[in-house]
Amino acid sequence: MLWGGLSGDRRALARLAESVVAGASRAGAPPPDKRRRFQPHLTLARCRMPADVTELVAALEDYQGQPWTADRVHLVRSRLGATEQPRYTSLANWPLRTPPATGPATGGPVTTTG
């Protein structure tokens, strides 16, 4: 899996993740592995077969994406067939609350990183 980390208000991201877990639990989804530490990220690619992406990771090591602010959460179903490409279906989306003014106390917007 290739993923990019996120920066910004990590406490707010952790609270959002906890809220999503609680909602998913109420809907009957199994709880996440409690031993896994929360790591805010965006999944960029997955590969079924092992692949050496050392050069790609090294090339992107210092990359910093353009800042952006997330304004919605999307619930997406992924169906991974044995022989076909994954299929993604958007099931629902919800707006996020507008963050307070950016400043030292708020940590600023969530941004992508390498």
In terms of residue numbers, what domain contains 38? 2-112
Residue 30 DSSP code: P
Looking at residue 100, its pLDDT comes to 62
Count of domains observed in the chain? 1
Structure confidence at residue 98 (pLDDT): 66
pLDDT along the chain (114 residues), means of 10: 80 84 85 78 80 88 83 84 80 79 49 48
CA angle 38–41–46, rounded 5-degree value: 115
CA distance 27 to 113: 32
CB contact at 8 A, 94 and 111: no
Residue-level pLDDT at 102? 56
> Do strands 72-79 and 2-7 pair parallel, antiparallel, or not at all (unpaired)?
unpaired
